Amino acid sequence: MSRSFRIDPGGRLSGILRVPGDKSISHRSVMLGAIAEGVTDVTGFLEGADAISTMNVFRALGVRIDGPREGRVTVHGAGMHGLRGAAGPLDCGNAGTAMRLLIGLLAGQRFESTLVGDESLSHRPMRRVAEPLAAMGARIETAAGCPPVRILPAQALHGIRYAMPVASAQVKSALLLAGLYAQGETTVIEPAPTRDHTERMLEAFGVSLGREGAAVTLRGGQALRACTIDVPADISSAAFFLVGASIAPGSELLLEHVGINPTRTGVIEILRRMGADISLRNPRQAGGEPVADLQVRAAALRGIEVPPELVALAIDEFPALFVAAACAEGRTVVTGAAELRVKESDRIAVMADGLQALGVRATPTPDGMVIEGRGGEAGVFAPGVVAAHADHRIAMSFAMAGLRARGALTIRDTLNVGTSFPGFETLARTAGLRIEGRGEDA
C-alpha cells in the first residue's frame, strides 16, 4: 500500500487546534498500568499505530485493556508478576519505544518472549539496551544487534550502575523497568538530560526514585499502584504546526493542552532563538506533567548555530526544524545530532536529500546538517517530489514546506504518519494547509 501527500503552494495557518496525545506518555501509560495493582484510567491516549502496537503486545501478554475510545483507555493491571508468556512473537510495528522499553520489562519475566517489528524497526540498533541488560543478568539474543529480539527467562536480575554512552530516554527507561525486577539498586547516569516521562510516571504509580543531577536510582521489588493519567497533546506533533505557522506569513495558531515538560521543549527554545514568536498561555499541571496552550504567530526567522546541549531536548523535532532553517535568513548549523541517523529513517540523509530535491542548499554532516536559509524569498522551496522513506516525521515536515513553496509538492510514502499523528491531513487542512492525501486507502 502506498500513500502520498500533494501540497498546493501557499496559504497560512490559523485557528485553535489540539494535536493528538503524547506518544511517549501513551506507551508508558499502558506499560506501567499493565504491571500495576488495580485499574488505570487513561485519557488523551494517542490512538496512533505505535501506541496501539504497545496495547496489543500487552493484550498478548494476558492483560485486559479496554479502548481506545475517544482517547480513553482502561488498563486492568496484572500486577508485577501477572504477565503471561505469549503464544507467538510480539509485534512492535514501527515503534522503537515499544520495543526498547519492552526488552527491559520482559528481561525480568519468568517466560520467554520474542519481539519483532516492521522493516524500519528491524534495522534499528538494540544492543544499546541488550548490553546493559545483560550486565544485569538478562539473557537477550538479537540478530546482529537488531530485531528480532529473543528474551529468555533469567535466573535473577541484579541492579547495576550504568553511565549511558548515548543520551537515550529509551535506554534509561528500559533499565529502570528491568530495575523494578532486579535485586538491589539500579542507577542510570545520562550524558545529557533526556525526556523523564518514565521517572515521573513511576512516581505517579507510587514507586520511589532517587534523582540526583544526571543520575536516577530505583530499588527493585517495589509494587506499582494504579492511577489515572491525563495524556497531554504531543509537543512533537505540535512542532509541525509551530514551524508551519512561523514560516507562513499571516499565520496565528493556538495549540491547546500541549505537554511542556522541560526535557521536551528544545523545539520552542531553538525556534525562539531563530526569532519565532511563540508564547505559553495558561501553564498548568496534568497528571504529573506540565502543560500549556501554545500561541504561535508568523515571524521572520534567522539561521543559528543550534547549541548541542539542546539537541537531546528536541531530538524528534529536527526534521521540522530543518524546514524552518530553510525558511530562515542565513545559515543554520546543527551538530551533535548523530542519533538522527538511527531514527525511523536516517533523518540526516533523508532530510538533506528532500531539501536538495526542493532546491535548498543543505549539506549533511556525520552528526548534523548545514542549511543555507532562503528566508528573504517568498517562495523558498522549488516544486518537486520528496521521498519520506516511510518516516512519519519526515512526511509531516515536508508537508509544512508547502506553505513556502513556489509550486506543488508531492511527498511519497506517507502511510506511517498514522503511527504518531492520526488525522494529520484533516487537521492540517482545517488549519489552512493545502494538503490532499492520495493513494490506495485515501
Is 232 or 373 the residue whose CB approaches ligand S3P more closely? 232
Q: In the bound complex, which residue of the shown chain has the CB atom lying closest to ligand S3P?
A: 24
Active site residue 8: no
User: Looking at this protein, which amino acid is placed at residue 417?
Assistant: V
Nearest approach, Cβ of residue 329 and ligand S3P (Å): 29
- Binding characters for ligand S3P, 111-150, by CB under 6 A (x = yes): ----------------------------------------
- Residue 170 binds to ligand S3P (criterion: CB under 6 A): yes
Site for ligand S3P in 330-359 (CB under 6 A): 339
Write out the E strands in 159-288. Answer: 161-163, 182-183, 185-189, 209-212, 215-219, 224-225, 228-230, 252-259, 277-286
Spatial distance between the Cα atoms of 389 and 412, rounded to a whole number of angstroms: 8
Cell numbers standing for residue 185: 539498586
- Residue 195 binds to ligand S3P (criterion: CB under 6 A): yes
Nearest approach, Cβ of residue 195 and ligand S3P (Å): 6
- Residue 315 binds to ligand S3P (criterion: CB under 6 A): yes
Nearest approach, Cβ of residue 166 and ligand S3P (Å): 7
- Residue 24 binds to ligand S3P (criterion: CB under 6 A): yes
Instruction: Tell me whether residue 88 is exposed, middle or buried, using C-beta atoms within 10 angstroms of its C-beta: 0 to 12, 13 to 18, 19 or more.
Output: exposed
3-state secondary structure of 346: coil
Nearest approach, Cβ of residue 316 and ligand S3P (Å): 5
Cell numbers standing for residue 411: 511527498
Cell 543531577, located at residue:
213
Spatial distance between the Cα atoms of 359 and 348, rounded to a whole number of angstroms: 17
- Spatial contact of 346 and 368, defined as CB atoms under 8 Å apart: no
- Residue 187 binds to ligand S3P (criterion: CB under 6 A): no
Is 300 or 338 the residue whose CB approaches ligand S3P more closely? 338
- Spatial contact of 32 and 101, defined as CB atoms under 8 Å apart: no
Query: How many residues in total does the chain contain?
Result: 442
Point out which span in 151-159, 162-170, 349-357, 377-385 binds ligand S3P (CB under 6 A).
162-170
- Binding characters for ligand S3P, 219-258, by CB under 6 A (x = yes): ----------------------------------------
Spatial distance between the Cα atoms of 344 and 312, rounded to a whole number of angstroms: 16
Helix ranges (H only) for 339-406 are: 347-357, 392-401
β-pairing, 146-152 vs 139-143, is antiparallel
Order the strands of the 409-412 sheet from edge to edge: 384-387, 409-412, 3-7, 435-439
* Backbone Cα Rg of the chain: 21
Is 293 or 316 the residue whose CB approaches ligand S3P more closely? 316
- Binding characters for ligand S3P, 260-299, by CB under 6 A (x = yes): ----------------------------------------
Nearest approach, Cβ of residue 27 and ligand S3P (Å): 6
* Sign of the alpha-carbon torsion through 108, 179, 66, 48: negative
- Residue 168 binds to ligand S3P (criterion: CB under 6 A): yes
Is 332 or 420 the residue whose CB approaches ligand S3P more closely? 420
Q: Which among 234, 316, 391, 413 is annotated as catalytic?
A: 316
Spatial distance between the Cα atoms of 303 and 274, rounded to a whole number of angstroms: 6
- Residue 316 binds to ligand S3P (criterion: CB under 6 A): yes
Is 234 or 293 the residue whose CB approaches ligand S3P more closely? 234
Q: What value, to the nearest 5°, has the Cα angle with vertex 411 and ends 406 and 417? A: 130
Among 29, 94, 97, 187, binds ligand S3P (CB under 6 A): 97
- Spatial contact of 369 and 348, defined as CB atoms under 8 Å apart: yes
Is 216 or 327 the residue whose CB approaches ligand S3P more closely? 216
Is 295 or 335 the residue whose CB approaches ligand S3P more closely? 335
- Residue 29 binds to ligand S3P (criterion: CB under 6 A): no
Among 29, 54, 94, 173, binds ligand S3P (CB under 6 A): 173
Beta-bridge partner residues of 280 = 294
Is 46 or 433 the residue whose CB approaches ligand S3P more closely? 46
Looking at residue 82, what DSSP letter applies? Answer: -
Residues that are catalytic: 316
Residues in contact with ligand S3P by the rule CB under 6 A = 24, 97, 168-170, 173, 195, 315-316, 339
